[in-house]
A = this chain, B = another copy of it.
Amino acid sequence: MKRIEDFKSIIDRYEIIFFDAFGVLKTHSGLVPGIERTFEYLKACNKEYYIVTNDASRSPVQLAQSYHDKGLYAVTADRIISSGQLTKEYLELKVDDGYVAYLGTQESAHYIESAGLKTLPVREVNSHNIDKVNALIFMDDEGFDWFEDLNKTVNLLRKRTIPAIVANTDYAYPVSKSDVGIAIGGLAQMIETIVGKKFIRFGKPDSQMFMFAYDLIREYRSISKKQIVMVGDTLQTDIMGGNKFGLDTVLVLTGNTQATDYQNRVEATGIVPTYICDSAVLGPDALAL
């Protein structure tokens, strides 16, 4: 674990950079100030980058739009790898027909539709269509009535032996400076405990996420894992997952992990990033050089 002052020296050392989104590029109050310089420098150096995110609440196009709205145009849809895309790939390979029930907003159902399958919000499951439901997806914590639909989900899984997919494994996410919200991964974990079945989880730290990005790159160029670095703010997802996949990793201190206790947390968890860096932002004169 090496303390690095300047994120630029990280970029100079690798061919491809994987960024986590929340806590690295943006926070609850908007973009991390100055982050656009990082992408300018990446462009100037002809380095590639991907955003590897557990956010399956919207399609890559919509996720990219949210960066454009904030003035960051370098984050385009083709650069975003979301856990929703793994869900889509799973459905394409493993579910042939019938309905795919889901918990989440209509936007999040995009990943199911793009797999060519018929979607059914859990609230619309009834005694007539329940036997045609061939998978259940936990997409997002919004877009449904928690009391009605979580109870309905428990009973759907007790009646039908079907795969249950969790498209975002996070338990909670920040909604303001002081508050968090319960994420769909937390709700899914509760229901898994109650029904006693094994759910399929996509999203960091699981290596399938990194593999998806790695495969995407290898379609157009050859690359070694040694040439890729993962940048994240969370030890248990970004750093754990990157390390396990064999990548070098950078812990930045703009999100979940604080400057005051990163050392305690590294020691307590045994999850060791290759580098520690204050943030993924470059100094104001980085591009002058």
Residues of chain A touching chain B, judged by Cβ–Cβ distance below 8 Å, are: 89-90, 93-94, 145-147, 150-151, 154-155, 157-159, 161-164, 171-172, 178-182, 186-187, 189-191, 193-200, 206-208, 211, 225-226, 236, 240, 243-247, 266-272
Task: Check A211–B200 contact: CB distance below 8 A.
Answer: no
Return chain B residues, CB-CB under 8 Å to A207.
206-208, 211
Q: Can you list 11 A-B pairs, Cβ within 8 angstroms, ordered by A?
A: A93-B225, A154-B180, A155-B179, A158-B179, A163-B243, A171-B193, A172-B194, A198-B269, A199-B270, A207-B208, A208-B245
Closest CB-CB distance, A179 to chain B, in whole Å? 5
Task: Check B198–A164 contact: CB distance below 8 A.
Answer: no
Task: Check A193–B189 contact: CB distance below 8 A.
Answer: yes
Return chain B residues, CB-CB under 8 Å to A163.
243, 270, 272
Q: With CB as the reference atom, state the residue of chain B lying closest to A149.
A: B146
Task: Check A271–B198 contact: CB distance below 8 A.
Answer: yes
Known contacts: A161-B267, A207-B211, A270-B163. The answer to whether A194 contacts B186 by CB under 8 A is yes
Closest CB-CB distance, A238 to chain B, in whole Å? 13
Task: Check A196–B272 contact: CB distance below 8 A.
Answer: no
Instruction: State in angstroms the CA–CA spacing of A224 and B247 once bound together.
Output: 25
Instruction: State in angstroms the CA–CA spacing of A197 and B191 once bound together.
Output: 20
Q: With CB as the reference atom, state the residue of chain B lying closest to A160.
A: B270
Return chain B residues, CB-CB under 8 Å to A150.
146, 182
Instruction: State in angstroms the CA–CA spacing of A243 and B196 once bound together.
Output: 18
Instruction: State in angstroms the CA–CA spacing of A270 and B93 once bound together.
Output: 18
